[in-house]
Structure 1
Amino acid sequence: MHAPHRPPRHPRAWLPLLLLSQAVVAWLWWRWGWPVGLPVMLATHAVAWWGVLAPNAALYGPVLSRLSADERQVWLTIDDGPSDDTLPILDLLDAHGARATFFLVGDRAQARPDLVREIASRGHGIANHSLTHPQARFWALGPRRMRAEIEGCQRQLQAITGAAPRWFRAVVGHANPFVSTPLRDAGLARVGWNARGFDAVERDVGRVVSRIEHDLAPGAIVLLHEGAPHGRSVEMIAAVLARLEALGYRAVVPEPGTA
């Protein structure tokens, strides 16, 4: 299974569209007044916010949200590590003959480099999930802080493993106009998902598995987490792996390919 690797080529492609939309708003307001101009302005702002908050929105740069696959193969992606859950999760993956990509937080990786090296040594992928995981404000980061989050994590992971990650996942899936330039400069492609169980907040294992199963299809990108506050991440991943196996799905790490 191959995944198109598409770092942003034109990180400011959204800017002409924004300027044109606001010129149209200004003209409509001048021509017909606020009853027409205001609703159109609000609609353009809603589109801009959709680009920030929707995890698979490509307004501010390309994002990979599903793969093309003929066989029953899926891409397991595990966010927020390394953590105390990492080793048990690696053992589970080994037991099921499964492979996954771990989207790691740079500062957490620096604190536990042995876990990062263990992930790599067992044949799993390592990807960039920001330096500090600013969950509440990633969507609002300015250009300098956004670059520091992306490039800082990239440096940490490369220093530990000797290889630069090729994939990036935005914190909480949010992006903004400043995410694409540092991704382009680092050669990173943004990855979303199309199967999730809200396992970072949901405590019920059955509900998590049911939600993921509902969205499963060949080539699905499955979003999972480790180290969740409820303490059941290992149990949830075990249940997901068992269900994938029962349904005849294989979890593989795709090879990056050209777009």
Structure 2
Amino acid sequence: MSRPMRKSQAVAGVAGAGIVAAGGVAVTARADRPVRAALIAAAAGVAAWAAFAPRNPLFGRVAWRGSVTGERMAITFDDGPSESTPAILDALGDAGARATFFVLGRQARRFPDVIARMAREGHQIANHGDDHGILIFRGPGHVRRQLRLCERAVEDAAGPGAMSGLFRAPHGFRGPATWPAARAAGYRMAGWTTGVFDSAEPGVDVIVARCNPAMRPGSVLLLHDADGWAPERSRPQTAAALPGILALGRERGLEMVTMDELLGTAL
């Protein structure tokens, strides 16, 4: 059986497709109009960059960092919940830390009790869409449906109002319709400061070491508590690494808060 695609492979693959597409524009443009071809190719390249760069504001403003002068940062988890999430919640509870979980609707339907626990224990539940599908080439109707299905699954599990107003697109990839559709549905776009590719399962000690530079005021750390490509898979390495990650924060006097608490009214 083949292994599910890793996040780094997905990022490289989709970004590569965008670069190829941008280059293709120049190739198919008329050879007797080189300036026009160059301008079109440049515009296509900028659009590809905006789609694949999680912090790029061209396709809408994205929250990816809080104040660097305080003593707070945010740890976030994508793609869950899964069988690893209860252990993650245990570690957060033991440390008195709060986190933000960008959940998938399909996973919320599989683990409603875990969603209810997130809400009960004071964590922020945020929208990651329903099925982890890439949104770059999707229209506003599809984006709204992804948001709505996830929101409904969360509120079925944890009650009305359990879903917060943050949305992180799968892989951070956004198309021209993503931000307007999310905003019309009442959501703000969220990114991150540092991702450590824990989804590649490099080992517990490696995950903790990669997080070390990110443990600073205002940082938004991206981790994963499930696998967006394989709904049945969990993230035991991330769960096992979390106590060490939280210890790094304590050593630096950092309070672990939700993204809403970190950002305030920044967006």
Answering whether residue 213 of structure 2 is matched by residue 217 of structure 1, we say no
Identity %: 32
The residue number in structure 2 matching 1:156 is: 153
Q: Which runs of 5+ in 1 are unaligned?
A: 1-28
Q: Distance in 1 between matches of 2:152 and 2:176?
A: 22
The residue number in structure 2 matching 1:238 is: 243
Q: Distance in 2 between matches of 1:181 and 1:215?
A: 30
- Deviation at 1:74? 0.5
- Deviation at 1:258? 5.6
Q: Distance in 2 between matches of 1:95 and 1:216?
A: 19
The residue number in structure 2 matching 1:142 is: 139
The residue number in structure 2 matching 1:249 is: 254
Q: Tell me the TM-score normalized by structure 2.
A: 0.78
Structure 2 counterpart SS, 1:200: helix
For the 8 Å contact 1:73–1:250, the answer to whether it is kept is: yes
Q: What is the one-letter code of the residue matched to 1:44? A: A
Q: Distance in 1 between matches of 2:266 and 2:69?
A: 19
Aligned residues: 229
Answering whether residue 211 of structure 2 is matched by residue 206 of structure 1, we say no
Q: State how 1:12-161 maps to structure 2 within 5 Å.
A: 33-134=32-133, 137-161=134-158
Q: Distance in 2 between matches of 1:42 and 1:147?
A: 30
CA deviation vs aligned residue, 1:94-115 (integer Å, no higher than 9, x gap): 1111110111101211222111
For the 8 Å contact 2:77–2:225, the answer to whether it is kept is: yes
For the 8 Å contact 1:205–1:239, the answer to whether it is kept is: no
CA deviation vs aligned residue, 1:153-176 (integer Å, no higher than 9, x gap): 122223332114211111011110
Q: What is the one-letter code of the residue matched to 2:246? A: L
CA deviation vs aligned residue, 1:104-130 (integer Å, no higher than 9, x gap): 101211222111010111111110010
Q: What is the one-letter code of the residue matched to 2:265? A: G
Q: What is the one-letter code of the residue matched to 1:217? A: R
